[in-house]
């Protein structure tokens, strides 16, 4: 498991709040032309001229959304940025700035926060967003991170959850389910470690799954790809809570139904092997597991030729009249009503009927 490779411990008290903010943010760069004033005043100042602004916030709580037993702090910082950038991508917008708010108990030394911030800065660089502010404070127990992402888009490019038509095609990017199985592998190794701390896990067979869980990426490439293909999705959402739950959001808000086809689900071979090893149904995980941060969107039927055969996209179903309901069509060609069971669904013994 993840060990403390950095035995040096500087207490937070030694730096104080302002010293800590200064220490964590001293290397923060400003690259976006829309950033007029970043860190250092009472508020950041941004100028987007005639663009529309999109804003999204997420809150991550230790013990609820992440477990530091297997989540290295650098990865946590990176992921905290990614999940917010993903929400901006799901609006078909481009992320430009973030603010970073952190609360920590004095259990964490300065070096731990440096690692966290290292991950945050790395992601900011990769996604080309400026860190323009935040807040730093103490908590009685554990770590809390809240990131707000700001993005820009032309009004006509923005995609909402509402907008899917009843004959539109349903499309997903990348592959799904892997992040959930990565978490199962990490949970298993954590339990092994608790029994035998000398055990060195061999995780070679699981690298893709673990990476999908610990170091997900947001699909900032999709906006550009869609633009190049001259496609504007009629609706879009990111897959954070699981495919089934996100399909229900699109259907409810757009007043349409949906047929999702089991045999069209894009699954990675490593994912399928590990589902077999864990004796868990790959379709159940693919539609209910969360945290894949892929994009789910609908397009008009006439756009099919533009996306067919593109390795970034899988057409996994089509929308229907609302009265037809929301169904999974199995390989055996039976129709099962989809349920939004979300992220925790798989921890119950219920089977996918």
**Which ranges in the chain belong to alpha helices (H)?**
12-25, 73-89, 110-126, 178-195, 207-214, 221-228, 243-254, 269-277, 282-288, 304-307
Asked if 122 is part of the footprint of ligand ADP (rule: CB under 6 A), the reply reads no
Within 8 A by CB and 6+ apart from 247, the residues are: 170, 258, 260, 296, 326, 338
Shortest Cβ 188–ligand ADP spacing (Å):
34
Asked if 17 is part of the footprint of Mg ion (rule: CB under 5 A), the reply reads no
Asked if 85 is part of the footprint of ligand ADP (rule: CB under 6 A), the reply reads no
- Binding residue per annotation — 135? yes
Q: Which residue, 42 or 156, has its beta carbon nearer to Mg ion?
A: 42
Q: Which residue, 41 or 50, has its beta carbon nearer to ligand ADP?
A: 41
Shortest Cβ 129–ligand ADP spacing (Å):
12
Sign of CA dihedral 150, 156, 158, 162: positive
Q: Which residue, 131 or 275, has its beta carbon nearer to ligand ADP?
A: 131
Contacts with Mg ion by CB under 5 A: the residue count is: 1
Residue 64 CB neighbours (<10 A): 10
- Binding residue per annotation — 117? yes
Instruction: Decide: 119 and 71 in contact? Cβ < 8 Å.
Output: no
Within 8 A by CB and 6+ apart from 332, the residues are: none
Residue 39 bridge partners (DSSP)? 41
Tell me which residues in 99-138 interact with Mg ion (CB under 5 A).
Answer: 135
Q: Which residue, 121 or 219, has its beta carbon nearer to ligand ADP?
A: 121
Q: How far apart are CA 63 and CA 339, in angstroms?
A: 27
Give the tokens for residue 163: 């907008």
Q: How far apart are CA 100 and CA 143, in angstroms?
A: 13
Q: Which residue, 102 or 251, has its beta carbon nearer to Mg ion?
A: 102
**64 — phi, psi (to 5°)?**
-110, -50
Asked if 39 is part of the footprint of ligand ADP (rule: CB under 6 A), the reply reads yes
Shortest Cβ 137–Mg ion spacing (Å):
7
Torsion of CA 177, 183, 184, 190, to 10 degrees: 170
Could you tell me the maximum CA-CA distance found in the chain, to the nearest angstrom? Answer: 65
Asked if 133 is part of the footprint of ligand ADP (rule: CB under 6 A), the reply reads yes
Interface residue with ligand ADP, options 73, 83, 102, 226 (CB under 6 A): 102
Interface residue with ligand ADP, options 40, 128, 188, 344 (CB under 6 A): 40
- Binding residue per annotation — 152? no
Angstrom CA distances, 291 to 29, 49, 119, 136, 344, stand at 29, 34, 18, 26, 12
Judged by beta carbon distances under 5 to 8 A according to partner kind, the member of Mg ion, ligand ADP, none in contact with residue 40 is ligand ADP
Interface residue with ligand ADP, options 4, 29, 47, 135 (CB under 6 A): 135
Shortest Cβ 22–ligand ADP spacing (Å):
8
Judged by beta carbon distances under 5 to 8 A according to partner kind, the member of ligand ADP, Mg ion, none in contact with residue 133 is ligand ADP
Q: How far apart are CA 112 and CA 74, in angstroms?
A: 9
Q: How far apart are CA 20 and CA 10, in angstroms?
A: 11
Which positions lie near Mg ion, rule CB under 5 A? 135
Binding-site residues for ATP sit at 117, 134-135, 161, 240
Binding-site residue positions for Mg(2+): 42, 56-58, 87, 135, 238, 241
- Sequence ranges of the binding site: 42, 56-58, 65, 87, 117, 134-135, 161, 238, 240-241, 291, 343
- Interface with ligand ADP by CB under 6 A: which residues? 21, 24-25, 39-42, 100, 102, 131, 133-136
């Amino acid at each position: 498991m993840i060990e403390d490779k950095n035995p040096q411990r500087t207490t937070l008290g030694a730096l104080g709040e302002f010293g800590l903010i200064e220490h964590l943010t001293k290397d923060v760069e400003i690259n976006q032309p829309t950033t007029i004033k970043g860190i250092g005043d009472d508020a950041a100042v941004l100028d987007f001229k005639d663009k529309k602004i999109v804003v999204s916030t997420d809150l991550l709580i230790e013990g609820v959304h992440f477990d530091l037993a297997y989540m290295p702090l650098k990865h946590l910082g990176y992921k905290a940025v990614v999940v917010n950038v993903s929400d901006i991508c799901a609006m078909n917008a481009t992320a430009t700035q973030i603010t970073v708010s952190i609360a920590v108990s004095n259990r964490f030394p300065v070096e731990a926060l440096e690692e966290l911030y290292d991950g945050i800065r790395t992601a900011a660089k990769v996604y080309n967003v400026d860190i323009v502010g935040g807040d730093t404070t103490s908590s009685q127990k554990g770590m809390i991170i809240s990131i707000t992402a700001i993005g820009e888009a032309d009004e006509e490019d923005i995609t909402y959850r509402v907008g899917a038509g009843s004959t539109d095609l349903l499309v997903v990017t990348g592959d799904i389910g892997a992040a959930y199985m990565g978490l199962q592998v990490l949970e298993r190794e954590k339990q092994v470690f608790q029994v035998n701390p000398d055990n060195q896990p061999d995780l070679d067979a699981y690298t893709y799954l673990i990476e999908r869980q610990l170091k997900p990426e947001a699909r900032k490439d999709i906006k550009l790809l869609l633009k190049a293909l001259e496609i504007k999705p009629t609706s879009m959402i990111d897959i954070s809570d699981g495919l089934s739950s996100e399909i229900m959001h699109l259907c409810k808000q757009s007043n349409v139904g949906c047929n999702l086809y089991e045999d069209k689900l894009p699954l990675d071979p490593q994912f399928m092997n590990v589902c077999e090893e864990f004796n868990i149904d790959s379709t159940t995980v693919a539609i209910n597991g969360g945290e894949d941060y892929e994009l789910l969107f609908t397009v008009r039927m006439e756009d099919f030729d533009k996306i067919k055969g593109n390795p970034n996209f899988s057409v996994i179903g089509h929308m229907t009249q609302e009265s037809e309901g929301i169904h999974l069509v199995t390989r055996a060609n039976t129709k099962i009503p989809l349920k939004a069971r979300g992220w925790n669904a798989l921890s119950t013994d219920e089977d996918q009927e």
